[in-house]
Amino acid sequence: MPIESLTKKKIRMENVVSKLKQQYPDSKCSLRYASSFQLLTATILSAQCTDERVNKVTKGMFARYSTPGDFANLPLEIIKKEIYSTGFYNNKAKSIKAMAEMLVNSHSGNVPNTLDEMVKLPGVGRKTANVVLGNIQGIPSIVVDTHVTRITNLLKFVKTKNAVKIESELSKLINKNDWTLFAHLLIDHGRAVCIANRPQCNNCVIAEFCPSKLGDT
C-alpha cells in the first residue's frame, strides 16, 4: 500500500466511522451505572471479565453500596465477597477500596473531571479514566482497549500497540465529536464481525476501507 497522506487517512477514517454508525446505531457503553463513581468501579471490575458478568455483580452491589463513602467504610473482605465472580478479586477489591478512600479524603467524595487527577486514583489508568470522562462527564475521550488496538492496526490507522501513542494518533484522525463513540463502535464490530483470529471480512461493512482485507498487509 502506498504511503497515505494525513488528509486521505482522515477521509478514510470518516468513511469508516460513518459506516460503523450505520451498522451499530445503538452503540454505547454496555456497563450499567448511575454515577461517575459507579462507572469507575464497574470499569475496574471489567478487567479480564465480561461486561455482562460485571453488570450482574454491580446490580445488587450498587443497590447496597453506591457511594465512595459506602465503599471506603466497607471491610475489604466484604468487597472481595461482593466482586468474587469477576476474577482477580483481591487486587480489584484493594483498588476499589483505596480509590473510594482517596475520593472521600482528597476530593470530598467527588470523582475528578480531569484525566491528570483521575489517573492518580488507585486502580485507575488512562483507559478507565477516559471511559468515565467520555461516557458520563461529557468530555470527549478516546478509549484504547484490545478491540481498538487490534482493529486500528488492521485498518493501518496506527502501527503500534502502545495505548498512549494510539490515542494520540487517533485524535488526529477522528472528529472530536466522535471520540467517545469510536471505541464503542469498534468494540461492537470486534465482537460481531472483526473477531480476533477469525475475522468475517466478507460480512464487513468497512472492508473496502481496510488494507488488511485488500491484501496490503
Catalytic residue ranges: 127, 145
For 34, the grid coordinates are: 448511575
- In contact, 39 and 31? CB cutoff 8 Å: yes
Residue carrying C-alpha cell 461493512: 205
Q: What's the CA gap between 211 and 217, in Å, rounded?
A: 7
Distance of CA 179 to the CA centre of its chain: 11
> What sign has the CA pseudo-torsion 202, 217, 185, 84?
positive
- In contact, 86 and 92? CB cutoff 8 Å: yes
What are the angstrom distances between the C-alpha of 43 and each of 27, 46, 154? 17, 5, 26
Return the number of other C-beta atoms located less than 10 Å from residue 87's C-beta.
14
